[in-house]
């Protein structure tokens, strides 16, 4: 059980899908069993780096380590995320100096 200052860590399988084409450029990791990921959690996928050539799409299985954030880190991540999001709203349409 996750404590206030400690975090749980576990391994799970995952499916990786990578595509690099004129229509799509993405890499997705889906954890086996649809394990939910919450703010502050980290996921490390194990294995060799993958190179995908242009026009190629690959899918494969790997193992991932999930580290749950402690309650304190989760709260901090949520709080700081709100301030970082607010920075995106600070947009200026000032043309600058002439």
In terms of Cα–Cα distance, which of 61, 16, 70, 60 is closest to 39? Answer: 70
The per-residue pLDDT for range 40-88, each reduced to its tens digit, is 999 999 999 988 999 999 999 999 999 999 989 999 988 888 777 666 6
In Å, what is the CA distance from 29 to each residue of 16, 37, 49, 88? 5, 12, 14, 27
Can you name the residues that pair with 29 across neighbouring β-strands?
A: 16
What is the distance between the alpha carbons of residues 54 and 16, in angstroms, rounded to a whole number? 17
The per-residue pLDDT for range 11-31, each reduced to its tens digit, is 999 999 999 999 999 999 999
Q: Please give the model's pTM, rounded to 2 decimal places.
A: 0.69
């Amino acid at each position: 059980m996750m404590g206030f200052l400690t975090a749980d860590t576990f391994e799970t399988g995952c499916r990786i899908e990578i595509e690099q084409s004129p229509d799509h450029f993405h890499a997705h990791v889906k954890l086996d069993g649809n394990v939910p990921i919450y703010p502050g959690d980290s996921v490390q996928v194990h294995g060799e780096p993958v190179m995908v050539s242009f026009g190629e799409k690959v899918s494969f299985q790997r193992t991932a380590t999930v580290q749950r954030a402690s309650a304190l880190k989760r709260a901090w991540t949520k709080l700081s995320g709100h301030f970082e999001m607010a920075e995106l709203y600070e947009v200026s349409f000032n043309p600058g100096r002439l």
